[in-house]
């Protein structure tokens, strides 16, 4: 009955607002005995089963879940619940905790709109181990099961690995000699983090802000996508002052609190994970490897061929829709119109025969990059209009847009279309695609009062671009992306979830 009610509420909210419902889990109740959960019909057992049902529904995409129960447990149920306020005004929790609850919900809203941190930048000395590797040497740093401090660093590394399994990209930013900084990763037996887990390893004597900018550039991420952890308060303050877009987490200096403070920041909140999320960290590691190959290979065409790229173009579907919505709402740089659509908008386009909705996946010999592009086209008789064209900056200068335009033109030819129109709407972030349409063979069609520019391509005059990848047009996106994957076992150092 509880599941039926929750489903009815979620569906009514979706139909009336066009947005997914957010349903809160039930906080624990004050129990009479420790046997309440094992007692059929008890309130404690009922709440536990309802919360599991809500979790299952969120995993299936029927609603989004705000885990009020987890927050209340962290605070303590006696502090969370105010019986006087509840009985007098039905206030669900202590009003003094409203800022904390609001911050927790804001983290969920950030995840919905793709605003969560996507990379974690880590200091080394006294952050991943105790001591200074350059002074104390490999045998002198403190990490491992021989002390409380060493165990705390191991637990934090295990937590960081758990974030990586959730798709968070890891980077190192250390004032150190590169070879010395890498030594613990290569030789210390108690190090859980290894070099292959780090997408960008930035160890030199430049200031931290300069190195963090370099990390963002190598990853192709905006500074607002980075979170920074450093035990040194002076370094935290300098990065916070010079790079205000970077989320500098106030972790303190005691490693025992690092996990709580990173998890409590809410920066890594996320929706139910799909296969693209889980593969993201490897994808960024592959991006760094690709950059090294490009630096070695002088001929651009040979460089592209050496990557052994495989592109799959599939129509919008149920499996891919969460990632499609995520890309539409967080892509800013390689995005021609920056139009935002929610889950319900994409669902309608998916069912409307007057729309073409493509999700584009890319793999190469280094990584599966997952869904890296979205194209939405409106069919208007003999002339089609490109409504949305966006791509992930992880795969810039790979020839993706050229291959996609070739495929779109082929689709138009088979449908008897005469021309395709497109519009570039400039923003503060998307100047990199200002010449997108001219580069791909479109001619200028006019300018508008709001600064946007229209382009048109006459199909009969289009010259296909040379391609350097295998392309598959598929009607089954699920075949290349199995959807949300089971997830377990990433934060086993302590009996808590990161």
* Rounded Cα distance, 400 and 310, in Å: 10
pLDDT of residue 280: 61
Residue pLDDT, tens place only, 461-485: 999 998 888 888 876 544 444 333 3
Residues in CB range of 457: below 8 A, 6 or more apart: 409, 419, 420, 421, 422, 437, 440, 441, 442, 443
pLDDT of residue 285: 61
Domain 119-264: give its CATH architecture.
3-Layer(aba) Sandwich (3.40)
pLDDT of residue 111: 83
pLDDT of residue 301: 73
> Which phi-psi region, left, alpha or beta, contains residue 129 (left: φ > 0; alpha: ψ -120 to 50)?
beta
Low-confidence ranges of the chain (pLDDT < 70): 272-300, 303, 475-498
Where in the sequence of the chain do the CATH 3.40.50.1000 domains occur? Answer: 119-264
Sheet of 443-447: strand order equals 443-447, 453-458, 419-424, 383-391, 368-380, 355-363, 309-315, 469-473
- CATH assignment of 309-479, given 3.40.630.30, 3.90.550.10, 3.30.565.10, 3.40.190.10? 3.40.630.30
Q: What is the DSSP string of 45-110?
A: HHHHHHHHHHHHHHHTTSSEEE-HHHHHHHH-HHHH--HHHHHHH--SS-GGGHHHHHHHHHHHHH
- DSSP H or E stretch at residue 13: helix 2-17
Where in the sequence of the chain do the CATH 3.40.630.30 domains occur? Answer: 309-479
- CATH assignment of 2-112, given 3.10.560.10, 3.30.750.24, 3.30.1490.390, 3.40.50.1110? 3.40.50.1110
Where in the sequence of the chain do the CATH 3.40.50.1110 domains occur? Answer: 2-112
- Going from the C-alpha of 132 to that of each of 128, 137, 457, the distances in angstroms are 10, 8, 61
pLDDT of residue 494: 32
pLDDT of residue 359: 96
What global pTM score does this model have?
0.63
Task: Write b or e for each residue in 397-428: b if 16 or more Cβ atoms lie within 10 A of its Cβ, otherwise e.
Answer: ebbbbbbbbbbbbebbeeeebebbbbbbeeee
Chain centroid to Cα 429, Å, comes to 19
pLDDT of residue 497: 29
């Amino acid at each position: 009955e509880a599941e039926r009610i929750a489903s009815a509420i979620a569906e009514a909210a979706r139909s009336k607002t066009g947005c997914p419902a957010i349903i809160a889990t039930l906080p624990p109740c004050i129990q009479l005995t420790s046997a309440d959960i094992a007692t059929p019909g008890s309130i404690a057992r009922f709440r536990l089963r309802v919360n599991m049902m809500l979790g299952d529904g969120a995993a299936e995409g029927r609603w989004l879940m705000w885990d009020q129960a987890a927050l209340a447990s962290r605070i303590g149920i006696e502090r969370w619940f105010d019986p006087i306020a509840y009985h007098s005004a039905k206030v669900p929790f202590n009003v003094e905790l409203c800022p904390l609850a609001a911050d927790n919900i804001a983290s969920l809203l950030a995840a919905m709109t793709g605003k969560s941190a996507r990379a974690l930048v880590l200091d080394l000395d006294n952050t991943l181990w105790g001591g200074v590797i350059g002074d104390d040497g490999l045998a002198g740093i403190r990490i491992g099961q021989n002390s409380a401090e060493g165990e705390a660093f191991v637990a934090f590394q295990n937590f960081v690995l758990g974030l990586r399994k959730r798709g968070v990209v890891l980077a190192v930013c250390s004032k150190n000699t590169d070879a010395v900084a890498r030594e613990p990763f290569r030789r210390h037996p108690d190090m859980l983090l290894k070099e292959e887990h780090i997408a960008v390893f930035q160890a030199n004597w430049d200031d931290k802000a300069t190195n963090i900018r370099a990390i963002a550039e190598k990853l192709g991420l905006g500074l607002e996508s980075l979170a920074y952890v450093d035990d040194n308060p002076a370094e935290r303050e300098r990065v916070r002052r010079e790079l205000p877009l970077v989320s500098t987490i106030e972790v303190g200096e005691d490693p025992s609190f690092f996990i709580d403070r990173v998890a409590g920041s809410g920066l890594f909140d996320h929706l139910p994970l799909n296969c693209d999320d889980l593969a993201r960290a490897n994808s960024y590691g592959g991006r760094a490897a690709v950059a090294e190959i490009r630096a070695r290979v002088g001929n651009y065409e040979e460089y592209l061929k050496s990557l052994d790229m495989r592109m799959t173009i599939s129509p919008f579907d149920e499996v891919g829709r969460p990632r499609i919505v995520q890309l539409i709402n967080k892509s800013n740089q390689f995005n021609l119109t920056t139009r935002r659509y929610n889950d319900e908008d994409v669902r309608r386009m998916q069912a409307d025969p007057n729309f073409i909705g493509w999700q584009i996946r890319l793999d190469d010999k280094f990584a599966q990059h997952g869904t890296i592009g979205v194209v939405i086209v409106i069919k208007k008789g003999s002339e089609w209009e490109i409504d949305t064209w966006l791509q992930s900056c992880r795969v810039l200068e790979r020839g993706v847009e050229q291959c996609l335009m070739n495929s779109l033109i082929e689709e138009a030819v088979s449908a008897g279309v005469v021309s395709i129109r497109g519009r570039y709407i400039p923003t503060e972030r998307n100047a990199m695609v200002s010449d997108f349409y001219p580069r791909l063979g479109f001619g200028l069609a006019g300018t508008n009062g709001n600064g946007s520019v229209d382009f048109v391509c006459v199909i009969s005059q289009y010259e296909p671009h040379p391609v350097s990848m295998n392309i598959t047009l598929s009607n089954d996106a699920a075949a290349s992306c199995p959807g949300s994957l089971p997830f377990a076992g990433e934060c086993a150092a302590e009996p808590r979830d990161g």
